[in-house]
Amino acid sequence: MRGFDEIQTWGVVGAGTMGHGIAQAAATSGYDVVMRDVESELVEGGLQGIESSLSRFEEKDELTSEEATAARERVTGTTDLEDLADCDFVVEAIVENMDIKRDVFADLDETVDEDVGLATNTSTLSITSIASATDRAEQVIGLHFMNPVPLMEGVEVVVGERTSDEVVQLAHDLAEDVGKTTWESDDKPGFVTNRVLMPWIAEGIRAYDEGVATKADMDRGMKLGTNVPMGPLELADHIGLDICLDAMETLHEELGDRYQPPYLLKRKVEAGDLGKKSGNGFYEYGE
């Protein structure tokens, strides 16, 4: 198993919001990164996302121009999975679909060296099931970054049935080395965050739909009454209503009716109102 001191290059599978955020966090912390997605347009979008984010950090004087430039130069984009062959550690951050993730992990198992650890950024799916697609289940772990990755401090380390203690420690060390604070969860549906968060968001949506309060008062009441930074509707928009729906449906299947998605959430997703990323959700957003 490749140790913490041997890791110089991260592979990131997926160049979307989470993927390019993870790539940026690693690059800003001094790691070289190979970021892969299936289409060149997706890769380019991820690189542009990193560029925009680093520019905002520069504008706020949270990174110097030299630091931002160095981070940009550490990230290489590709559509070829073989370009991850020399990576020392790989994080997958693609769509929340078990079959697709298992296919990717089976391919990674054939691509990268046998002593390389593999992590998944899944927020709800079984680490053990994903790991079983490989011949290195003891080297597979959940490394669930929060969105947006460059700003959020927390990372959830999720331990599969066969994950080794060595890989658990490596995951904590790597997350902390890119500036994050970790907590640990067993491989149970939803882990810590989504198991508690999704019912909270769902009940906020139901209460709003039933006329308990306006959306603004719903969110204001929860922020001021419980000292959270966002209320349930605002947070759902921020996460992505489609992401919330996928998480609730997975948890509903695993844990029963207490996780049943609200009808209003389904209706908004069907209408294409996905939250901040689409410009409309429970609230309206600019370009």
Q: Which of the following is catalytic: 20, 126, 144, 172?
A: 144
Q: What does the pLDDT look like over 26-39, one tens digit per residue? A: 999 999 999 999 99
Residue 173 falls within a domain, yes or no?
yes
Query: Would you say the pTM of this structure is higher than 0.85?
Result: yes
Q: Which domain holds residue 227?
A: 193-276
Contact between residue 209 and residue 263 where contact means Cβ atoms under 8 Å apart: yes
Whether 281 is in a domain gets the answer no
To the query of whether residue 194 is one of the catalytic residues in this protein, the response is yes
Q: How many domains does the chain have?
A: 2
Task: Answer yes or no: is 286 within a domain.
Answer: no
Residue 26 falls inside a structural domain? yes
Is residue 175 located within the same domain as residue 266? no
Same domain, 209 and 163: no
Are 170 and 207 members of one domain?
Answer: no
Residues 133, 249, single domain; the answer is: no
147 is in an annotated binding site: yes
227 is in an annotated binding site: no
19 is in an annotated binding site: yes
Looking at the structure, do residues 182 and 47 belong to the same domain, yes or no? yes
DSSP per position, 208-277: HHTTSS-HHHHHHHHHHHH--SS-HHHHHHHH-HHHHHHHHHHHHHHH-GGGPPPHHHHHHHHTT--BGG
Task: Tell me: do 67 and 156 sit in the same domain.
Answer: yes
Among the candidates 171, 186, 201, a domain finishes at 186
By CB atoms closer than 10 A (0-12, 13-18, 19+), residue 136 is: buried
11 is in an annotated binding site: no
pLDDT, position 253: 94
**Beta strands 89-92; 9-13: pairing state:** parallel
Given this model, what pLDDT does residue 286 score? 78
Question: Residues near 73 by Cβ (< 8 Å), separated by ≥ 6?
Answer: none
122 among the known binding-site residues? no
Are residue 51 and residue 160 in the same domain, yes or no? yes
Stated as kind and residue range, the H or E segment containing 11 is strand 9-13
- Residue 287 domain-assigned (yes or no): no
Segment 227-254 mean pLDDT? 95
- At residue 287, the pLDDT reads 62
**Side by side, which strands form the sheet with 9-13?**
75-78, 32-36, 9-13, 89-92, 117-120, 140-145, 154-159, 181-186
Catalytic residue among 164, 194, 234, 238: 194
Provide the CATH number for the domain around residue 219: 1.10.1040.10
Asked if residue 148 and residue 10 are part of one domain, the reply reads yes
Catalytic residue among 53, 156, 164, 238: 156
| Domain CATH for 170 | 3.40.50.720
Same domain, 33 and 166: yes
Q: Out of 20, 53, 92, 123, which one is annotated catalytic?
A: 123
| CA pair distance 160, 91, nearest whole angstrom | 15
**Pair (158, 24) in one structural domain:** yes
35 is in an annotated binding site: no
pLDDT tens readout for residues 57-98:
999 999 999 999 999 999 999 999 999 999 999 999 999 999
Query: Would the pLDDT of 194 be above 80?
Result: yes
Question: Which of 163, 186, 209 is the endpoint of a domain?
Answer: 186
Is 97 flagged in the annotation as binding?
A: no
- The domain boundary, picked from 134, 167, 186, lies at 186
